[in-house]
Amino acid sequence: MCLSVPAKVKKIKGQTAVVDVGGTSYEADIQLVPQVKEGDFVLIHTGLAIQIIDREEALASLKVFDEFERLNKAMDEEEKETGIRLT
């Protein structure tokens, strides 16, 4: 299974962009999306920007990632309290 992550393009330096994912900056190769501009959202897969995506779609996906993170944290806390492994 492959997973791509939505990221916002903060800065472009040649064939590389500095992108933001959840407050963390990464560098991504943008050769596959040469028309990308600062402020665009892209899907990142293994360090490559593979597609420009709509802002609303990116934000919806990031919201789902946040929900998964909250769920995982809640499950971890419940496991600590009960001693029962939930996964």
Per residue in 11-70, pLDDT (tens digit) is: 999 999 999 988 899 999 999 999 999 999 999 999 999 999 999 999 998 898 888 888
Q: Inform me whether the pLDDT recorded for 86 exceeds 70.
A: no
What are the CA-CA distances from residue 34 to residues 16, 29, 61, 69 (Å)? 10, 10, 23, 32
pTM of the model: 0.78
CA nearest neighbour of 66 among 1, 6, 9: 6
Domain residue extents for the chain: 5-82
CATH number of the structural domain 5-82: 2.30.30.140
